[in-house]
Amino acid sequence: MRIGMVLVLIALSAVAPARAAGLSGANDPSIVIGFVATRSGAGAVGGLDSADGFALALKQLGGRLSNQEVRVVPVDDKGSPDVARRQLARIIASERLDMIVTAVSPSSLAAMLKPLAESRLFVLNLEMPPPRVAGPDCNANMFTLAPPNDGPHQVLGYHLVADGARRLVVIAPETGLADLAVAALKSSFPFEVTVLRPKRGAATFEREIRRIGEIKPDAVYSLLGGGMGGAFIRTYDAAGGKDMAPLYVSADAIARPLLQAMGDAALDVRAVANWSPDQEVGGNKRLVSDFEGEFGRPASERAARGYDAALLLDAAIKANNGRTHDVEAMRAALRRAEFPSVRGTFHFNHNHQPIMAYLLLKVTRDARGRLTHETMTPLLKEWRDPHSGACAMHWADEYVPAPPKPSKKN
């Protein structure tokens, strides 16, 4: 099925005529989007999900945004910041781009921030940005559809407090992002937190399991990703950890495409997320069924972000009457775009970061016996990141959400 999607995008590229200088909007038959994603190497699972989610929504829209033909220029950063910067420079120089979509790691995004700003193109970012992008380095042309790194960890802290937890063990790698995550968690969980640091590349975790048994926490939170994340989940299950304390992990560690390899060890593992396949919102059911039918794998939270990005662009361009080259009008349309997000509540804060809902999910089995996600409870309906106060950018009619409320214990 992937071949079919590739042919659709190639066909769109082939029929898109060159644009005459000075023409735009309804007089311009083509919108050109550079899509920079990690399509090979480390992080390719997430990058491909984002790109395929975007492509699926675009196909459902007939290959058009606001009835204008679209040409997507795919770029692979291969998980490398240097490659990301070089490839971005290449497409900016060689293509007449209207906008850029990014689905890369924080380090690759950081490497692209200066050339992106200098390009003055609109950017839709589908991955967690460096914290400064949400604060003092906020950009009037960059819009992020993924929450800042703080979000899931801070919301989990609120939930654990409301759930009666007072003692927590965190399993964290020796990285700067993990340190930020622990700090965000502690900002909302003012009780005992013990951080255990496994050796880099560890495949077994006897020392950590032993310490968990000694501490007897109310919950365990793993920030390990990739192979280490899966290995810890399996080790925790084999050691009977679920009888000691519930296991929470980052949503990436139990992304739906990874679940089958974990088997029963993943059952009942929990995560804070912005999306679940069972959400009764927007076109979520269509996304779930069509994504698997098109690509032969289950949809993920990153696929939902890519899908949302296409719907957002369609709504904003329609609201702007197709005038994609009217910068001020297009920026205002993106800020206020109303679209059927498959993730529920979605608005942009004044720093162009999302105000959105969070939920608690767990791994379970669907009616066909396959591992999947199930929503346990909504957590916060409208969360805004803590960095927005450092962003000097403001605009008229900013969205003002209701005050956030911690989840209540069931």
- Asked whether residue 321 is domain-assigned, the answer is yes
| CATH at residue 237 | 3.40.50.2300
Q: How far apart are CA 128 and CA 49, in angstroms?
A: 15
- Asked whether residue 159 is domain-assigned, the answer is yes
How many domains are there within the chain? 2
Q: pLDDT for 100-112, tens place per residue?
A: 999 999 899 999 9
- Asked whether residue 398 is domain-assigned, the answer is no
Query: If you ran DSSP here, which 8-state letter would residue 359 be given?
Result: E
Q: How far apart are CA 224 and CA 248, in angstroms?
A: 11
Mean pLDDT of the chain, nearest integer: 89
What single-letter amino acid sits at 72? V
| pLDDT for 201 | 86
The residue that leads in pLDDT, 287 or 202, is 287
| pLDDT for 4 | 46
Cα dihedral 98, 104, 110, 114 in deg (nearest 10): -20
Assess contact for 410 and 175: CB atoms under 8 A: no
Three-state DSSP class for 369? coil
The residue that leads in pLDDT, 8 or 195, is 195
Considering the domain architecture, whether residues 250 and 365 belong to the same structural domain is answered as: yes
Does the pLDDT of residue 304 top 60, yes or no? Answer: yes
- Asked whether residue 402 is domain-assigned, the answer is no
Q: pLDDT for 125-168, tens place per residue?
A: 999 888 889 999 999 999 999 988 889 999 999 999 999 999 99
For the entire predicted model, the pTM comes to: 0.88
Share of the chain above pLDDT 90, in %: 74
| pLDDT for 401 | 57
Q: Which of 58-62, 78-82, 203-207 has the lowest mean pLDDT?
A: 203-207
The parent domain of residue 201 ranges over: 150-273+358-381
Does the pLDDT of residue 408 top 70, yes or no? Answer: no
Considering the domain architecture, whether residues 213 and 340 belong to the same structural domain is answered as: no
| pLDDT for 289 | 96
Assess contact for 113 and 105: CB atoms under 8 A: no
- Asked whether residue 75 is domain-assigned, the answer is yes
Considering the domain architecture, whether residues 376 and 329 belong to the same structural domain is answered as: no
